[in-house]
Amino acid sequence: MRHLPLAAAALTLALAACQPASPPPAASPAETAKPVQAAAPAFAFEEASIADLQAKMAAGTLTSHALAQAYLDRIAAIDRAGPAINAVIELNPDAIKEADALDAERKAGKVRGPLHGIPVLLKDNIDATPMANSAGSLALADNRPKADAFLVAKLRAAGAVILGKTNLSEWANFRSTRSTSGWSGRGGQTKNPYALDRNPCGSSAGTGSAIAANLAAAGIGTETDGSIICPSAVAGLVGIKPTVGLVSRSGIIPISVSQDTAGPMARSVADAAALLTAIAAPDPADPAASERKDATPIDYTAHLKADALKGARIGVVRKLTGYQPDTDAAFEAAVAAIKAAGATVVDAEIPTLGQWDNDELQMMLYEFKDGLNRYLASANTPYKTLADLIAYNKAHAAQEMPYFGQELFEQAQAKGPLTEPAYLAARDKVRRLAGPEGIDAALRKQHLDALVAPSMSPAWPTDPINGDHFIGAGYGAAAVARYPSLTVPMGEVHGLPVGIVFMGSAWSEPRLVELGYAFEQATHARKPPRLLPAVKLPPAAK
């Protein structure tokens, strides 16, 4: 659904969200005038968990109104001004009204659950009234959906306050082979709050930076290949990329019907589990929902087990390491922590690794054209086809294509319908290689509970001239297989967060939550960002 980052070196250029390679956006005149500050004002709810906030509201010492206003003030202070992270693309004008209604319900004795009154941010490719859904494109800046996406309706039913929408890599990074993560024509360039000159990764860049910087309690991102895991990892967050079909895709601007999904991005496994519990529900309008044999609701917070690594068998995929020595060192320390927590750790191989890259891209090109045309047909926009958007970008090249073009748009436009043999062969091949013959084979061979690898390298400097400096990641197999993955902070490299990704077979979210939570409790690796202008490197020895 819209994001992706990448997978393998050469092909990755054309593929993904984390993998973009190009320049960021020019700042608006207002943004350029804002001085960069190294520190943010004190914030009363710094690193506050959903459970903490809920307890305060239950005790009567906090209201949803006050909490939502505090986050709105925080956004004004450090997202719009000060360090100007530029993570929030649009605010919900009804946020305080929604908070007031939930406060009234609480006062009347009705509490909907753990998310009652909790402010949440959504990626700007998810339909949520009354805001626009633009995928970061100026062409869709006035696309105001008439109804919420299925998952947004679930969030609101659970009592969440929709605070606003977050910036993203435009079109979830599926417009150009050399795009820049975190840049969109409508939203500009999002910054990484750990070091403002660093990239937030994509395509859920705004959600990652916003939640890391405490601009909301938690957020929703979307992923096709890495777009939840990568921005979560480089922002010191927990991100869950669910099995395709667990969370509805209805009302989300698509990339790939095969791989798209939405998922939670939060500062802890507990918060991510609470969010996933609210949004994981079968949607009759989503064809992937029928693949889940047991649709019984799951409370993922019941799987927060601190001793879950004891007796577990964890496979270490070392072929997904070796691209950055400091990341490798942090990963080896993480593996040692897993072992110390009682797990059996063995080296494991995904036997088909790297064999699906070109086929994945070809499949996505077909699916993007088909899916986007379907979305646009009923959207509140005059642009009804991919061809219309290509023409719009050409007519508004100074605003939409100042740094990179629309090669992927044009390649997708050249594809035929989803009945073509070339598409069907590519789709079936990638699913088989990454799933049954890949992750499943690795898990089965050594009777493993999960596979682990470094989620990503540390964040690279945002570079408008040369583009993204993507060097490696560990999440691609799970994305292509349509299986779940979960990233948890495992340490820092020169003050930049790095994460470890847990991958399992289809519908294994409960087990991954258990393992990720146990690892989190054993390591407590997350550190909040300091909004530094740049990474502080130690002086070289003389």
Positions annotated as catalytic residues are: 123, 203, 227
Burial track 26-49 (b if 16+ CB lie within 10 A, e otherwise): eeeeeeeeeeebeebeebebeebb
Cis bond upstream, residue 137 (ω within 30): no
* Cα gap 103→195, rounded to integer Å: 37
Q: Please give the helix or strand (H or E) that residue 262 lies within, else none.
A: strand 261-266
Beta bridge partners of 487: 239, 501
Short-list 148, 275, 206, CA closest to 3: 206
Q: Please give the helix or strand (H or E) that residue 103 lies within, else none.
A: helix 95-107
User: Three-state DSSP class for 38?
Assistant: coil
Both tokens of 246, joined, read 């667990």
* Cα gap 37→124, rounded to integer Å: 27
Q: Is 287 exposed, middle or buried (0-12, 13-18, 19+ CB in 10 A)?
A: exposed
* Cα gap 172→206, rounded to integer Å: 11
* Cα gap 221→165, rounded to integer Å: 10
Burial track 68-98 (b if 16+ CB lie within 10 A, e otherwise): bebbbebbebbbeebbbbbbbbbbbeebbeb
Q: Is 9 exposed, middle or buried (0-12, 13-18, 19+ CB in 10 A)?
A: middle
CA–CA–CA angle 46, 49, 54 (5° rounding)? 115
Both tokens of 367, joined, read 């699916």
What is the distance, to the nearest Å, from the Cα of residue 379 to the centroid of all Cα atoms in its chain?
24
The residue assigned the tokens 């009567």 is 60
Cis bond upstream, residue 464 (ω within 30): no
Q: How many CB atoms lie within 10 A of CB 66?
A: 16
C-beta separation of 345 from 335 below 8 A: yes
Short-list 516, 96, 83, CA closest to 334: 516
Short-list 129, 87, 355, 332, CA closest to 221: 87
Both tokens of 225, joined, read 């290949």
Residue 109: CB partners within 8 Å, gap ≥ 6?
Answer: none
φ/ψ (deg, to 5) at 13: -50, -45
